[in-house]
Amino acid sequence: MASTVLVGTQWGDEGKGKICDLIAGDFDCVVRYQGGNNAGHTIVVGDRKYGLHQVPSGIMYPDCVSVIGNGCVVNPAVLLEEIDMFERDGITTANLKVSGNAHVIMPYHIDLDGAYEELLGKNNIGTTKRGIGPCYQDKMARIGLRMQDLLDEGTFRAKLEVALARVNPQLDRIFGMPTYTVDQICETYLPMAERLRPYICETGILLNDLVEEGKSILFEGAQATLLDIDHGTYPFVTSSNCTAGGAVTGSGVGMKNVDRVLGIMKAYITRVGSGPMPTELSYEEEAGHTLTEVGAEYGVTTGRRRRCGWFDGVIARYATRVNGLTDIALTKLDVLSAFDTIKVCVAYECDGARYTSVPEHQAVFANAVPVYEELPGWKCDITGCRTFEELPVEAQDYVRRLEEIAGCRISFVAVGPDREQTINRFWK
Q: Give the residue numbers marked as catalytic.
A: 13, 41
Spatial CA neighbour of 128 closest among 110, 145, 146: 110
Binding mask 4-43 for Mg ion (x = CB under 5 A): ---------x--------------------------x---
Count the residues of the shown chain that bind ligand IMO, applying the rule CB under 6 A. 22
Residues 239-258 that bind ligand IMO (CB under 6 A): 239
Select from 35, 36, 40, 144 the one that contacts ligand GDP (CB under 6 A): 40
Q: Contact between 306 and ligand GDP (CB under 6 A)? A: no
- The answer to whether 272 and 304 are in contact (CB under 8 A) is yes
Interface segment toward ligand IMO; rule CB under 6 A; list 148-156, 206-214, 219-227, 336-344 = 219-227
Strands 29-32 and 217-220: parallel
CB of 306 to ligand GDP, least distance (A): 9
CA atoms within 13 A on the CB side of 157: 7
Told to check if 9 binds ligand IMO by CB under 6 A, we report: no
We find the least distance from the C-beta atom of residue 171 to ligand IMO, in angstroms, to be 19
> Would you put residue 326 in left (φ > 0), alpha (ψ -120 to 50) or beta?
alpha
Closest CA to 377 of 358, 397, 363: 397
* Closer to Mg ion by Cβ: residue 139 or 306: 306
Rule CB under 6 A: choose which of 5, 13, 111, 398 binds ligand GDP: 13
User: Of the candidates 254, 261, 151, which has an alpha carbon nearest to the alpha carbon of residue 207?
Assistant: 254
- Residue 16 found at the interface with ligand GDP (CB under 6 A): yes
Residue list 114-143, contact with ligand IMO (CB under 6 A): 125-128, 130, 132-133
Q: Is the peptide bond before 62 cis (omega within 30 degrees of 0)?
A: no
Spatial separation of the C-alpha atoms in residues 124 and 274, rounded to whole Å = 7
For 29, 60, 248, 373, the CA distances from 211, given in Å and listed in that order, are 10, 22, 13, 45
The span from the CA of 299 to the CA of 303, in Å, is 4
Binding mask 40-69 for Mg ion (x = CB under 5 A): x-----------------------------
Identify the burial level of 91 via C-beta atoms within 10 angstroms of its C-beta, where 0-12 means exposed, 13-18 middle and 19 or more buried.
middle
Which residue ranges make up the site for ligand GDP (CB under 6 A)? 8, 12-18, 40-42, 44, 296, 300, 331-332, 334-335, 414-417
Which residue ranges make up the site for ligand IMO (CB under 6 A)? 8, 12-13, 38-41, 125-128, 130, 132-133, 222-224, 227, 238-239, 272-273
